[in-house]
Amino acid sequence: MQVEREELAALLTLQTIDLDIMQKTKEFDELPQRDKILKLRTKKEALAGQLAKVSKYKKDAKQRLGRMNDEDASLTKRQASIQAAIEAAHGDFRNVEARSKELAGITRRRESVAQEQEKIRGEIAKLEELEAQIGLAQEEVEAQESQEVEGFREQGGALKGAIAQLQAKRQSVAAEVSAEVLSVYDKTSARCGGVAIGQLDGNRCGACRSRIEGGRLIDLKAQAPLGVCPSCKRLLVIA
């Protein structure tokens, strides 16, 4: 392939730039903060879900406690009314006996209600403690996420800036290569993982290390200063 030495030098520079871009892009994609941030955000979602469940359980418990409180208030009012009726009955023993039985039943029910109230209050206390624990865990995760995001922005920003500079430099260097040669280079680079150009090393391709024998080697050298490896089809610099 007929190219000027200046164009060949530009091609080699282009490959160096492209490999640098690939390396820095790989470093950006593999920044450890990316996975850490994703895991922390997944944890945040899980904690938010747990908090929502606990809040619902606490709301339900408070509603049950409210019903118990209402019942106890009603029983207290009924208890006072019956007690007043007993006191007003004077010598009406049957009435007093019936009222006393009713009063005893209310007293027993109030005792049951009091036990249930105490039980529910215990549930609410435990749920509030759990809410506080989840809240602390959320704060810790938020702090960790902020730290990782800051690190990602710092390192990722530096890499992005370096990549942008390399891309600008690539554009400038690519302008020194003919459209035809640049097209061959770009296609070869895409096919060969970024290594489009090798160096002829004796009778071997410096890239794939395949041996080039006889007439093929003669034909290749005739293409100097730039040929194509018969095996891997990369561009070969021929000294």
Residues 182 and 165 in one domain: no
Residues 35 and 146 in one domain: yes
Q: Which residues pair with 20 in a beta bridge?
A: none
DSSP letter, residue 211: B
Per-residue pLDDT tens digits for 10-46 = 999 999 999 999 999 999 999 999 999 999 999 999 9
Residues 35 and 133 in one domain: yes
Residues 75 and 163 in one domain: yes
Q: Which of 218, 9, 216 is nearest to 230 (CA)?
A: 216
> By the 8 A CB rule, do 224 and 238 touch?
yes
Range of the domain at 163: 31-175
Per-residue pLDDT tens digits for 45-60 = 999 999 999 999 999 9
Residues 49 and 163 in one domain: yes
**Which of the listed residues 175, 208, 224 is the one where a domain comes to its end?**
175
Residues near 233 by Cβ (< 8 Å), separated by ≥ 6? 188, 191, 192
Number of domains in the chain: 2
The model's pTM is: 0.67
Between CA 17 and CA 156 the distance in angstroms is 19
> By the 8 A CB rule, do 61 and 131 touch?
no
Between CA 136 and CA 145 the distance in angstroms is 14
Residues 116 and 6 in one domain: no
Please report which confidence band the pLDDT of residue 87 belongs to, taking 50, 70 and 90 as the band edges: confident
26, part of any domain: no
Rg of the chain's alpha carbons, rounded to an integer? 42
Between CA 225 and CA 10 the distance in angstroms is 13
Reported as type and span, the H/E element at residue 181 is helix 179-191
Residues 7 and 85 in one domain: no
**Which of the listed residues 175, 199, 227 is the one where a domain comes to its end?**
175
Between CA 136 and CA 60 the distance in angstroms is 23
Residues 108 and 68 in one domain: yes
Residues 94 and 196 in one domain: no
Per-residue pLDDT tens digits for 120-167 = 999 999 999 999 999 999 999 999 999 999 999 999 999 999 999 999
Two tokens at 86? Answer: 């007993």
Between CA 149 and CA 154 the distance in angstroms is 8
Between CA 151 and CA 51 the distance in angstroms is 29
Between CA 106 and CA 93 the distance in angstroms is 20
3-state secondary structure of 50: helix
